[in-house]
């Protein structure tokens, strides 16, 4: 099964939540009027797309309907797909990995699938022929270090780790030296996920950035925020908070297959203007893939 088919299958719950309801409304109405738009707006709002984003989508849809002089309700669906694809489209959705080594810093609260995502990103990059090293920077949880070790073995990449409660910046320093000496293409760094101690987390990330800037000046750097799609609007709140304490360059959205709240991807892009770069639709190693806006909308409406 190709990734599009897995994506389509993974979005089953979201499709029931959004597109099946849209189809029912379009069939019931037949004609295009304000009441139809109100019904569509309500479906979007109740599908974790959020009020502001839903209003934005419906306004764009009305404009498209006027410009195309659409009077048949069933034809509204194609224009809605177009609106959503345009909203989600992002010029810089590719990972910026131009330098050697490049660094990917991965942030996110505990429990969102951060460590698992790192393993899957390492697998994705290894399949592209890149030499990857992992840095176990979440030193406050022994389980996080051990879990990353398991993923490193599974994928077949090196890992740099220290004892529990070591200084995360020191782990990153060692990992950078290893990346240089072993001529790695990409260094992926795990970080602590303790958002409730925001000040500590901010200080910790600052120290890590300082080490990276000093040891690898001018390199390509990504800071990816891992979010759990099943948390719905809470994911938007997390993204806002992390964006305050760190310069987030992209989102990794996990567990899309386990939720009816896949519409959150639209809210995140619209409200925060941070590109969704990778999405996960299952437990398998290759179930995390590059996000493609048109492919996502096609899978959602298929």
Residue 257 in marked binding region: yes
Which residue matches tokens 């393993």? 119
Residue 255 in marked binding region: yes
Please say whether the beta carbons of 14 and 22 come within 8 A: no
Residue 232 in marked binding region: no
Residue 111 in marked binding region: yes
Residue 97 in marked binding region: no
Residue 38 in marked binding region: no
The DSSP annotation for 74-99 comes to GGHHHHHHHHHHHHH--TT-S----S
Residue 7 in marked binding region: no
Residue 214 in marked binding region: no
Residue 62: count of CB within 10 angstroms of its CB: 16
Please say whether the beta carbons of 148 and 119 come within 8 A: yes
Q: Alpha-carbon distance 246 to 205, whole Å?
A: 8
Residue 138 in marked binding region: no
Residue 32 in marked binding region: no
Please say whether the beta carbons of 52 and 270 come within 8 A: yes
Residue 123 in marked binding region: no
Residue 250 in marked binding region: no
Buried b (16+ CB within 10 A) or exposed e, 273-292: ebbbbbbbbbeebebbbebb
Residue 192 in marked binding region: yes
Annotated binding site for GTP, which residues? 108-115, 190-194, 254-257
Annotated binding site, which residues? 108-115, 190-194, 254-257
């Amino acid at each position: 099964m190709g990734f599009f088919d897995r994506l389509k299958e993974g979005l089953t719950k979201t499709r029931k939540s959004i597109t099946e309801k849209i189809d029912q409304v379009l069939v019931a109405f037949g004609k295009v009027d304000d009441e139809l738009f109100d019904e569509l707006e309500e479906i979007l709002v109740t599908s974790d797309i959020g009020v502001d984003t839903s209003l934005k989508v419906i306004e764009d849809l009305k404009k498209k309907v006027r410009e195309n002089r659409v009077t048949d309700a069933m034809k509204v669906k194609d224009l809605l797909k177009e609106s959503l694809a345009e909203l989600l489209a992002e010029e810089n959705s590719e990972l910026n990995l131009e330098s050697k080594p490049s660094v990917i810093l991965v942030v996110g609260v505990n429990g969102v699938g951060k460590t698992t995502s790192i393993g899957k990103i390492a697998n994705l990059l290894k399949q592209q022929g890149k030499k990857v090293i992992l840095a176990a920077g979440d030193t406050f949880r022994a389980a996080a270090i051990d879990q990353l070790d398991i993923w490193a073995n599974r994928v077949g990449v090196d890992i740099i780790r220290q004892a529990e409660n070591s200084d995360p910046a020191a782990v990153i320093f060692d990992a950078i030296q290893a990346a240089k000496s072993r001529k790695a293409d990409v260094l992926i760094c795990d970080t602590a996920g303790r958002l409730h101690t925001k000040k500590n987390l901010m200080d910790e990330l600052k120290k890590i950035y300082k080490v990276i800037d000093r040891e690898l000046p001018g390199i390509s750097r990504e800071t990816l925020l891992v979010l759990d799609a099943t948390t719905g609007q809470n994911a938007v709140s997390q993204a806002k908070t992390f964006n305050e304490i760190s310069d987030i360059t992209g989102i990794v959205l996990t567990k899309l297959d386990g939720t009816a709240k896949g519409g959150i991807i639209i809210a995140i892009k619209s409200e925060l203007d941070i590109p969704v770069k990778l999405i996960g639709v299952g437990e398998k190693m290759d179930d995390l893939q590059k996000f493609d806006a048109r492919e996502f909308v096609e899978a959602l409406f298929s």
